[in-house]
């Protein structure tokens, strides 16, 4: 296949392992499908070698680099899905905010949002196809290069998660500044969340057009009342709008949701057009407790840099003996 053909979202290789997609749709599977958030990450020596000396977001903007990092864990482990290497903060970047990856600190916004007047700094209309074209090209290239081995997951942060980073200026355990916005500036908060929702919808639809076969969306830490007012409505809106437009186009792409620490909202989320809430349990207890159907095995919030690749292999293999061979 020519190089030009690899960047066209057409004529993708036939999918050979649809176990992940079948589980997401509630269909019968021969084994519990397994994947890990951040499965392309610093715990892999080949990942560290590839990333050495490269700026993080420069790598995110390289379709070839993202493709290589996405494929690395598939060469080691028998995962049932891949997830495109990227970052949720490409969305605030597309809206006009500067984000840097600072060694030893993580993602940093040099000039975060401090008050509602700062919303004027954001682009009023985001051309997602233009601003995030590099992500779409990475997805298309990876779909071809993966040769149908497993499905490819595309993803986006949920509006509240993105809003928190944009206000906190980076990661935060308390999210105190962002939460203060919700109380001090509720109208501005909803305005920002609505704008983020519009961008995320276009972003996810662009990922489908590029070849993504599953979606993942994250939700941050809020209390029940705040979650139902400032997070859940926008997550529902994203799911509804994306699903409706995919249906019109004759596409069927499952959407999965990772709502960290919002166990109280699982019932609400299950009624929000998302197919799956992921389960984090010790593998054997998980199999004994949940059986072997209608869920996808994962590792909570994913892979950490200090994890041993051999432990990851043990996790993937742990669910195999009681089930049908892979």
Which residues does the annotation mark as catalytic?
A: 38, 42, 51, 87, 165
Please count the CA atoms within 13 angstroms of the CA of 295 that sit on its side-chain side. 16
3-class SS letters over the chain: CCCCHHHCCCCCCCCCCCHHHHHHCCCCCCCCCECCCCCCCCCCHHHHHHHCCCCHHHHHCCHHHHHHHHHHHHHHCCCCCEECCCCCCHHHHHCCCCCEEECCCEEECCCCCCCHHHHHHCCCCCCHHHHCHHHHHHHHHHHHHCCCCCCEEEEEECHHHHHHHHHHCECCCCCHHHHHHHHHCHHHHHHHHHHHHHHHHHHHHHHHHHCCCEEEEEECCCCHHHHHHHCHHHHHHHHHHHHHHHHHCCCCCCEEEEECCCHHHHHHHHCCCCCEECECCCHHHHHHHHCCCCCCECCCCCCCCCCCHHHHHHHHHHCCCCCCCC
Residues in CB range of 291: below 8 A, 6 or more apart: none
């Amino acid at each position: 296949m020519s190089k030009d053909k690899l960047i066209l979202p057409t004529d993708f290789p036939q999918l050979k392992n649809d176990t992940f997609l079948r589980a997401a749709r509630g269909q019968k599977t021969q084994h519990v499908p397994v994947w890990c958030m951040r499965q392309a990450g610093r715990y892999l020596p080949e990942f560290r070698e590839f990333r050495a000396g490269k700026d993080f977001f420069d790598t995110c903007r390289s379709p070839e680099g993202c493709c290589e990092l996405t494929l690395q864990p598939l060469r080691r482990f028998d995962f049932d899905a891949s997830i495109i290497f990227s970052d949720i903060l490409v969305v605030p970047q597309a809206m006009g905010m500067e984000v840097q990856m600072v060694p030893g600190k993580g993602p940093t916004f040099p000039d975060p949002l401090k008050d509602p007047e700062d919303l004027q700094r954001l682009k009023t209309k985001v051309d997602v196809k233009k601003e995030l074209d590099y992500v779409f090209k990475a997805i298309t290239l990876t779909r071809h290069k993966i040769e149908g081995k497993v499905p490819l997951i595309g993803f986006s942060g949920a509006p509240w998660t993105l809003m928190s980073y944009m206000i906190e200026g980076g990661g935060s355990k308390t999210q105190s500044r962002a939460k203060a916005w919700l109380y001090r500036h509720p109208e501005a908060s909803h305005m920002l969340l609505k704008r983020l929702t519009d961008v995320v919808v276009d972003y996810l639809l662009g990922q489908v057009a590029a070849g993504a076969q599953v979606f993942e969306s994250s939700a941050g830490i809020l209390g029940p009342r705040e979650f139902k007012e400032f997070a859940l409505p926008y997550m529902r809106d994203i799911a509804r709008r994306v699903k409706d437009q995919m249906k019109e186009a004759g596409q069927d792409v499952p959407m999965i949701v990772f709502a960290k620490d919002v166990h109280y909202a699982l019932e609400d989320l299950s009624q929000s057009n998302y197919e799956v809430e992921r389960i984090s349990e010790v593998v054997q207890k998980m199999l004994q407790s949940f059986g072997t159907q209608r869920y996808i095995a994962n590792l909570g919030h994913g892979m950490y840099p200090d994890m041993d690749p051999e432990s990851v292999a043990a996790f993937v293999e742990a669910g195999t003996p009681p089930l049908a061979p892979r």
